[in-house]
């Protein structure tokens, strides 16, 4: 007997069209309260129930812990108590990146016991030390420097890729390099690195990316508008 056979969900025609679609890639674009999260939740349960393969998992990505918790809360209690729930990995982008880097980050020089530097004051101290070691003098607007570095990381640029001809942007990239070097020597990665380093890892090792694609043939993203390039 189907463990979820007793549930009754009323969907409108647009929601049904999404669930019945054979498209491999679907973007649901609608305003607040239109039922996007409901459709995503129904889609997850439908795929796990109907796909005959037993080894695959679904990767559900959100940008905030609150969104991940909301999605978990919306999944039916029957589903959460069934074996199917073990095949759903519903986490934030950053949590997923941290898991990947803890396991495979050594491929790109990241130790499994890395520390995550998410406190701005701590980041400023690391930036100051990095600049001192590289003989930088003067006073900088530290928060603006960190914001500029964060923008480069969120756009997918490593220090060696961010060099630009303009004097101001070239200086930012030099500061970026000093900051990144000190982060690494201190055993840290920052919050933006959880995405950037994971992307760089998959790009450098396509076989590893394919490994995750095999595990997670279905990937769903909630609140896509909150994401960045990385």
- 78 falls in which pLDDT band (50, 70, 90)? low
- 3 falls in which pLDDT band (50, 70, 90)? very low
Cβ–Cβ under 8 Å, residues 105 and 111: yes
The answer, yes or no, to whether residue 30 has pLDDT greater than 80, is yes
The structure tokens listed for 55 are 């080894």
The structure tokens listed for 43 are 């889609």
Helix axes 120-133, 167-185, angle to 10 degrees: 100
pLDDT digits (tens, 9 = 90+) for 126-171: 999 999 998 887 778 899 999 999 999 999 888 766 555 554 567 7
The answer, yes or no, to whether residue 83 has pLDDT greater than 90, is no
The CA distance from 155 to 73, in Å, is 32
- 7 falls in which pLDDT band (50, 70, 90)? low
Mean pLDDT of 51-67: 83
Mean pLDDT of 9-16: 86
Closest CA to 198 of 57, 51, 118, 97: 97
Closest CA to 116 of 63, 68, 187: 187
The answer, yes or no, to whether residue 99 has pLDDT greater than 90, is yes
Q: pLDDT at position 6, please?
A: 44
Q: How many residues does the chain have?
A: 230
């Amino acid at each position: 007997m189907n463990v979820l056979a007793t549930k009754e969900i009323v969907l409108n025609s647009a929601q049904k069209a999404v669930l019945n679609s054979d498209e491999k890639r679907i973007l649901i674009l609608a305003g607040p309260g239109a039922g996007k999260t409901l459709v995503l939740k129904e889609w997850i349960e439908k795929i796990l129930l109907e796909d005959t393969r037993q080894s695959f998992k679904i990767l559900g990505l959100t940008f905030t812990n609150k969104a991940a918790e909301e999605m978990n809360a919306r999944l039916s209690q029957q589903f959460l108590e069934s074996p199917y729930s073990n095949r759903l990995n519903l986490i934030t982008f950053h949590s997923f990146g941290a898991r990947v880097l803890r396991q495979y980050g050594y491929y790109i020089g990241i130790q499994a016991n890395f520390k995550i530097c998410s406190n701005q004051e701590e980041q400023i101290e690391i930036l100051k030390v990095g600049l001192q070691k590289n003989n930088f003098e003067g006073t900088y607007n530290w928060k603006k420097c960190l914001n500029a570095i964060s923008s480069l990381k969120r756009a997918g640029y490593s220090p060696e890729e961010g060099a630009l001809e303009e004097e101001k942007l070239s200086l930012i990239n030099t500061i970026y390099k000093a900051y990144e070097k000190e982060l690494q020597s201190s055993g840290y990665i920052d919050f933006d690195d959880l995405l950037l380093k994971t992307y760089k890892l998959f790009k450098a090792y396509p076989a590893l990316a394919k490994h995750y694609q095999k595990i997670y043939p279905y990937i769903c993203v909630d609140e896509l508008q909150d994401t960045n390039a990385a």
